[in-house]
Amino acid sequence: MNKKITSQKVDIVISGAGVVGMTLACILADHGLEIALIDPLNVEASLNDEFDGRSYAISYAPYMMLKTAGLWDKIGTEAQPINEIHVTDGESPVFLHFDQKELGDGPLGQMVEVRHIRSGLYKAIIKQKNIHLFSSDQIVSSQTCPGHVEIDLKSGKKLNASLLIGAEGRGSTLRQQKDINIRVWDYKQTGIVTTVEHELDHQGIAHEKFFPSGPFAILPLKNNHSSIVWCEPPQRAETIMALSERAFNAELAKKFGTFLGNVKSLGKRWSYPLTMQLADEYIAERFCLIGDAVHGIHPIAGQGFNLGLRDIAALSEILVDAHRLGGDIGSELVLERYVRWRRTDNNILALGMDGLTRLFSNDNPIIRFGRRAGLAIVEEAPVLKKFFMRHARGTVGKLPKLLRGEPL
């Protein structure tokens, strides 16, 4: 549904009504900024269970941000806390175990199905008078003028804003229109995603098993369900995706093991090619990128959505501060603050995930021995374990207010 805009002028236009675009729109609108949110899809029609079978692991600091912003009650009603994380290298007896009790201040994260996040955010958007949703529409051109940007939509509507934000995901058309290059690394892996049901209680424990063909993650959901991210080379993944339900469950059981009893897929499967990509630039004149449009990483540690939420926390703080002071929210000075705050953090985490993927996705005996020794060393070093747990929770570094649980 579209809300009728009486004036062509808004403060900010956000292209992309995915989970990142909708979250940013909600936070900015709550602080008095008028937002136009545009998406080529029929957003309401995309809320069905068949649209996206993924689940996101939301780290502790982004969880605090969503709670502080008043969004957690809308998206987290079916959330499953992650109490522990168990990491193994294949079938090796060596493991690394993270337990929330070692930090003592709440879960390591929360697992939420994407369908619940999208549905909750959509309900928040349609109730927000400062958000004008242009569903089944898209930007065909934009022209930067002194003090504003003029935007033409496919529907024929025209918008005038101080800032244009690209939240369109990895294939961002605005990024291409702005001639911003990206660097892409192909892992030659495909991620198979499905939800499974198992006999025994997972007790809120997430499992990450590393195999030469790619990682296999078991991520706890409500009611003896878990989300599976199963990474394989593309040809093998294509074969697995084509299996009958019975054959798929047989292959799944081999990979899964018996520690949660009998396991079966709940039917629907999705697959995604796995790459890493980083944009050379975050901003152009009166324009900035956010979320997967600027950085896409391997799901090896479930940090992709968290990076987008960290972008939102920084950008919303900068824009709200500038708005309160009567400044130009689309100026280069304002946008450069966002770049300085986010580029290093994003690059470090992206390259760190890339290193982990390359370290564990091979069967070189020397590397295998070294990584297993590394897991054993970290497991026996409490200070080192707490350091890695704090990084996984997103509580390290110069955090924006929302990530600290403080209102803007």
Of the pLDDT bands very low, low, confident and very high (cuts 50, 70, 90), residue 1 is very low
Write the pLDDT tens digit of every residue in 22-77: 999 999 999 999 999 999 999 988 887 666 778 999 999 999 999 999 999 999 99
| CB count in 10 Å sphere of residue 34 | 17
Write the pLDDT tens digit of every residue in 148-178: 999 999 999 999 999 999 999 999 999 999 9
Beta-bridge mates of residue 230: 192, 216
Give dist(CA 175, CA 289) in Å, integer. Answer: 7
The two tokens of residue 116 are 């619940």
Region 279-303: what's the mean pLDDT?
Answer: 92
Q: Quick check: 318 pLDDT over 90?
A: yes
Write the pLDDT tens digit of every residue in 322-377: 999 999 999 999 999 999 999 998 888 888 878 777 777 767 777 777 777 777 77
Put residue 165 in one of left, alpha, beta given phi > 0 → left and psi -120 to 50 → alpha: beta
Beta-bridge mates of residue 58: 110
The two tokens of residue 190 are 């495909």
Q: Quick check: 265 pLDDT over 60?
A: yes
Q: Which residue has the higher pLDDT, 82 or 97?
A: 82
Q: Which burial class, exposed, middle or buried, applies to 150 when counting CB atoms under 10 A from its CB (0-12, 13-18, 19+)?
A: middle
Amino acid of residue 184:
V
Q: Quick check: 4 pLDDT over 60?
A: no
Whether pTM > 0.85 for this model: the answer is yes
Of the pLDDT bands very low, low, confident and very high (cuts 50, 70, 90), residue 6 is very low
Instruction: Provide DSSP, 282-325.
Output: SEETTEEE-GGGTEE--GGGS-HHHHHHHHHHHHHHHHHHHHHT
Of the pLDDT bands very low, low, confident and very high (cuts 50, 70, 90), residue 218 is very high
Closest-CA residue to 83 (of 205, 202, 201): 205
The two tokens of residue 215 are 């990682």
Amino acid of residue 125:
I
Q: Which burial class, exposed, middle or buried, applies to 377 when counting CB atoms under 10 A from its CB (0-12, 13-18, 19+)?
A: exposed
Give dist(CA 303, CA 57) in Å, integer. Answer: 7
Share of the chain above pLDDT 70, in %: 97
What sign does the dihedral 75-77-83-87 (CA atoms) show? negative
Region 297-303: what's the mean pLDDT?
Answer: 81
Q: Dihedral through CA 270, CA 275, CA 276, CA 282, nearest 10? A: -70
Least confident of 87-91, 206-210, 294-298: 87-91
Pairing relation of β-strands 163-166 and 12-15? parallel
Q: Are 184 and 277 in contact (CB under 8 A)?
A: yes
Q: Quick check: 249 pLDDT over 70?
A: yes
The two tokens of residue 304 are 């992709």
